[in-house]
Structure 1
Amino acid sequence: MPGSASAALDSAAVPYEVIRHGPVGSVAEAAAALGMAVADIVKTIVIRRGDNDYVFVLVPGDRVISWPKLRALLGVNRLSLPDAGTAKDATGYERGTITPFGSTNAWPVVADERVRGRQITLGAGERGVAIALAADEALRSLDATVADVTDPEPPR
């Protein structure tokens, strides 16, 4: 795991476990590889609020961002997803590995309320690796804003 994520977790005194699960192509594959529920695989999504202004949104694996709810919470009319290169520039991590821990910028964190009280995994800054930790510890150390900001994953 890149040193920045583990160093940030160690510095915040957040207990965690590094799990090397190998390559996965989806949240469902990650859940299967980790033996966890899809809802406990938490995606860290980088959202652009404005020029050089981003937030991390922590989304349970079985849910998607509700753009109206997130815009209302942040008090903005427009949000967007940056392209992969911009997200890497803003965080230091590639898409699929992003974690708020050890990011090159300490952007604010918004977590969906359904994350609370769970044992979850987050990206670890490296492909095929996850960080397992108590969601409440992570939210506390990140000073996350916790709110209802997601909707159920639409059926496929």
Structure 2
Amino acid sequence: MTAERAAAALDAAGIDYETTRHGPAGSLAEAAALRGVEPGDLIKTLVLRRAADDYVLVLVPGDRVISWPRLREFLGVSRMSMPDAEVARDVTGYERGTITPFGTLTRLPVVADVRVAEPRRRVSIGGGDHGVGATLDTQDLIRAVDARVADVTDPP
């Protein structure tokens, strides 16, 4: 049911996307291969807590990790944390590993790493259910979720 909610939100945004359904993946690299993209083109949608009941989504290339100091500076906060899986599900309506910025229960602000926003590039994001991805153009993604773009990741 959550994949349908994500697809409905993508459709409502008028985005050209392709849904990929695959079996379980044991790693990000395996999921990327199953979706036909490089690991850096599989985008993780992470839920982060800025303060009590104040959350933000961060779009991170699969081959990178959050730079906590740069992200905190960009958002103007001194502390941030990653909520547990249950809270992330309650905030977004999606389980970890399936989270997408489309169709969340509450519209959340989105920060996209600069690498996600590179023009003329197609990436795969979570599709709302395990083994489901949506592949779309980066510019459509950034525009549709009104993402703020900043350099907020580092190599692993």
Answer yes or no: same fold by TM over 0.5: yes
The equivalent residue for 1:147 is: 150
What displacement does 1:32 show? 1.7
The equivalent residue for 2:38 is: 37
What displacement does 1:33 show? 1.4
- RMSD value over aligned CA atoms? 0.9
The equivalent residue for 2:62 is: 61
Equivalent residue runs for 1:1-156 within 5 Å: 2-116=3-117, 117=119, 118-153=121-156
Count of residues in correspondence between the two structures: 153
Provide the C-alpha distance between the structure 2 equivalents of 1:35 and 1:74, rounded to a whole number of angstroms: 33
Provide the C-alpha distance between the structure 2 equivalents of 1:138 and 1:80, rounded to a whole number of angstroms: 25
Stretch moving more, 13-22 or 80-89: 13-22
SS at match of 2:115: helix
What displacement does 1:26 show? 1.6
> Which amino acid counterpart does residue 135 of structure 1 have in structure 2?
T
> Which amino acid counterpart does residue 123 of structure 2 have in structure 1?
I
Provide the C-alpha distance between the structure 2 equivalents of 1:136 and 1:83, rounded to a whole number of angstroms: 30
> Which amino acid counterpart does residue 133 of structure 1 have in structure 2?
L
Percent of aligned pairs with the same amino acid: 58
Provide the C-alpha distance between the structure 2 equivalents of 1:44 and 1:18, rounded to a whole number of angstroms: 17
Please list every run of 5 or more consecutive structure 2 residues that lacks an aligned counterpart in the other structure: none
CA 1:138–1:151: 2 relative to 1, 3 Å: same
Provide the C-alpha distance between the structure 1 equivalents of 2:54 and 2:27, rounded to a whole number of angstroms: 28
* CA offsets 1:8-40 (integer angstroms, 9 cap, x no match): 111110111110121112211111212211100
What displacement does 1:79 show? 0.2
> Which amino acid counterpart does residue 144 of structure 1 have in structure 2?
A
What displacement does 1:58 show? 0.3
